[in-house]
Structure 1
Amino acid sequence: MASLSIRDVYKTYPNGVPVLKGVNIDIEDGQFLILVGGSGCGKSTLLNMIAGLETVTKGDIQIGGKTVNNLSPKDRDIAMVFQSYALYPSMTVRDNISFGLNIRKVPKGEQDQIVSRVSKLLQIEHLLDRKPGQLSGGQRQRVAMGRALARDPAMFLFDEPLSNLDAKLRIEMRSEIKLLHQRLGTTIVYVTHDQIEAMTLGDRIAVMKDGIVQQFGAPQEIYDSPSNLFVAGFIGAPPMNFIQGKVVEQGSGVGLELDTGVKRGVLNLPFDGAVKSHVGKEVILGLRPERITDTRNAHNVDDGKHQPIDVKVDVIEPTGPDTLVFAQVNGKRIVSRVHPGANPQPDQNMSLMFDVSKAVLFDPETEQRIA
């Protein structure tokens, strides 16, 4: 196993285009790091720099406390699993897994032991004599992982390994990768654009945009306490609701003016201090869909942080365990999760319970979190 330290790392291409702009990330031995963001955010470039496939313009990358900027990929004790599987079509599964062992001249008996151990771990023993063309996408990905496991590296690097799989298989392989990490305890750096993969797999998540780490932390921390509008909107499915409105004094506290088209009112907010200085100003309230629900599905409604708001239902989307209800608040569509038994109908009025216990506020101009 190995720790990973990325210190003030920059990457600029020869044409002067900056790709990474001062990235700082630290993870401990055995942790699972997710690099997540949209296309062009720099996450794959950063992974390639950790692997030694891209050079560092400025800064340091340390693996196990050792600076590796000038080390070749083969000297970094890492193994990489690619999106494209990168299997040799003319070789059997057995030969694909043992290919790197052959290159390093590992004795045949030891190779057999390693292939047997890895194939059992990944449950592909029955596939060892097949060729890649005879395998499904999920089986090929297991073989690609097996080849990396055979190396017994200090660190695994995964470059969007599930993006070529169908939805059902992605969920299955996601569980396999998490289980694999729990069994091995090896440090993993995993690149994805899928925020669900990020939330379910990682111990630590680095959310990236335009070559900058917008937020780095534990999954639940990033979900509950996003540092800015981008992180709040990127993490979560459906994404966080953003309701812009004016802050007003409400008794000894503050509230947000709301207009649902059914009723005008003020939503009490559980903030004071810094938010008091925003009275009379526009802010953006962030609320997760599960924090807006029907009154029968709400809990602890007498805690002072729940408030019923009447809305007009625009659209409903039944999902089975709950129903998504879309409505207009302050001229913008929001989404809530309600119990299927609430039986909401389009164009009907409905009372939704707003739970502000985990509400967040953002500045509309800077897009940074206020509270």
Structure 2
Amino acid sequence: MASLSIRDVYKTYPNGVPVLKGVNIDIEDGQFLILVGGSGCGKSTLLNMIAGLETVTKGEIQIDGKTVNNLSPKDRDIAMVFQSYALYPSMTVRENISFGLNIRKVPKAEQTQIVERVANTLQITHLLDRKPGQLSGGQRQRVAMGRALARDPVMFLFDEPLSNLDAKLRIEMRSEIKLLHQRLGTTIVYVTHDQIEAMTLGDRIAVMKDGVVQQFGAPQEIYDSPSNLFVAGFIGAPPMNFIQGKLVEAGAGVGIELDTGVTRSVLNLPFESGQVKSHVGREVILGLRPERITDARSAHNVEGGKLQPVEVKVDVIEPTGPDTLVFAQVNGKRIVSRVHPASNPQPLANTTLLFDVSKAVLFDPSNEERIA
């Protein structure tokens, strides 16, 4: 196992295009780090820099306390699993897994033990004499992981390993990777554009945009307390609702004006007036997760007194089985809520939604940063 420290790292290509702009990340031995963001955010470039496949323009990367900027990939004691599997089609699974061991001249008897141990861990013993062309996508990804495991490195690097798989296989392989990490306890750095993978797999998540880490922290912390509008909208499925409206005084506290086309009201917010005093009378953006807007059947877990009814007109519904997504207009923008399927809301009909603001967040529309 090994810790990883990324200190003020920059990457600029020879044509002058900046890719990474001062990245700072620290994880401990055995932690699972997720680098998540959209295409072009710099996450794969950062992974390649950790691996030694890209040079560092400025800053420092340390693995287990040792600066590795100038070390070649083979001297970093890491193993990488690629999106494309990168298996040798003419070799059997056994030969693919042991290929790196052969290169390092590991004795044959030891190779056999390692291959059997890895195959047993990944439950692919019955596939050892097959070739990649005879395997499914999920089986190929297991073999690619097996080749990395055979190295017994201090750190694993995964570059979007599940993006070529169908939805069912992605879920299965996600669980396999998580179980693998629990069994081995090895440090993992994992790149993905899928926020569900990020939430379910990681101990720590770095949300990236335009070469900058927008927020770094535990999954639940990022979900509940996003630092800005980008993070709030990127993490979560369906994404967080953003309701723009005027912040006003409401009794001893503050609230936001709502217009649903059916009724006008003020939604009381759980913030101290002093906390948001400078924004009273101005436009703000209220962030609420879909599960915080629900119906009476689904609201039994919410503490009394925190639910506020708002009448809306239903645009469209999307039954998902365990719940139903209800879309409606608030302040001229469509929002999504989660309700109990038995509540049976109907499109174009009015219904009452219950707003739980206990985990509401406020953003400044001028700079998209979080206010409270």
Aligned residue for 1:175, secondary structure, equals helix
Counterpart AA for 2:325: L
| Residue 354 of structure 1, CA deviation | 0.2
Residue equivalent to 1:338: 339
| Residue 360 of structure 1, CA deviation | 0.2
Unaligned runs of 5+ in 2: none
- CA distance in 2 between partners of 1:218 and 1:315 (Å): 34
Residue equivalent to 1:326: 327
- CA distance in 1 between partners of 2:155 and 2:364 (Å): 40
- CA distance in 2 between partners of 1:262 and 1:28 (Å): 52
- CA distance in 2 between partners of 1:47 and 1:302 (Å): 43
| Residue 8 of structure 1, CA deviation | 0.1
Residue equivalent to 1:367: 368
Counterpart AA for 1:152: D
Residue equivalent to 2:287: 286
Whether 1:74 and 2:36 are equivalent positions in the alignment is no
Residue equivalent to 1:186: 186
- CA distance in 2 between partners of 1:336 and 1:106 (Å): 58
Deviations 1:115-134 (A, max 9, x none): 00000000000000000000
- CA distance in 1 between partners of 2:172 and 2:297 (Å): 34
RMSD in angstroms over aligned alpha carbons?
Answer: 0.7
Distance 1:17 1:310, change over 3 A: same
- CA distance in 1 between partners of 2:360 and 2:270 (Å): 8
Aligned residue for 1:316, secondary structure, equals strand
- CA distance in 1 between partners of 2:74 and 2:126 (Å): 30
Residue equivalent to 1:354: 355
Aligned residue for 1:191, secondary structure, equals strand
Unaligned runs of 5+ in 1: none
Residue equivalent to 2:153: 153
- CA distance in 2 between partners of 1:301 and 1:185 (Å): 36
- CA distance in 2 between partners of 1:355 and 1:302 (Å): 9
Q: 1:246, 1:282 within 8 Å by CA — same for their partners in 2? A: yes
| Residue 297 of structure 1, CA deviation | 1.5
Counterpart AA for 1:327: A
Distance 1:132 1:300, change over 3 A: closer
- Runs in 1 of length 4+ with deviation above 6 angstroms? none
| Residue 262 of structure 1, CA deviation | 0.5
Whether 1:23 and 2:14 are equivalent positions in the alignment is no
- CA distance in 1 between partners of 2:361 and 2:122 (Å): 42
Residue equivalent to 2:114: 114
Deviations 1:93-142 (A, max 9, x none): 00000000000000000000000000000000000000000000000000
| Residue 303 of structure 1, CA deviation | 3.4
| Residue 221 of structure 1, CA deviation | 0.1
Q: 1:87, 1:144 within 8 Å by CA — same for their partners in 2? A: yes
| Residue 300 of structure 1, CA deviation | 5.6
TM-score by length of 2: 0.99
- Number of paired residues? 371
Residue equivalent to 1:222: 222
TM-score by length of 1: 0.99
Q: 1:295, 1:351 within 8 Å by CA — same for their partners in 2? A: no
Identity %: 90
Distance 1:302 1:95, change over 3 A: closer
Counterpart AA for 2:47: L
- CA distance in 2 between partners of 1:68 and 1:92 (Å): 34
Whether 1:246 and 2:262 are equivalent positions in the alignment is no
Counterpart AA for 2:142: R
| Residue 305 of structure 1, CA deviation | 2.2
| Residue 275 of structure 1, CA deviation | 1.1
Aligned residue for 1:274, secondary structure, equals coil
Deviations 1:320-353 (A, max 9, x none): 0000000000000000000000000001000000
- CA distance in 2 between partners of 1:314 and 1:276 (Å): 35
Counterpart AA for 2:294: T
1:129-168 alignment, distance < 5 Å: 129-168=129-168
- CA distance in 2 between partners of 1:8 and 1:75 (Å): 23
Aligned residue for 1:296, secondary structure, equals helix
Residue equivalent to 1:306: 307
- CA distance in 2 between partners of 1:274 and 1:210 (Å): 31
Whether 1:204 and 2:204 are equivalent positions in the alignment is yes
Deviations 1:259-303 (A, max 9, x none): 000000000000012212211000000000000001222136663
- CA distance in 2 between partners of 1:301 and 1:80 (Å): 44
Residue equivalent to 1:39: 39
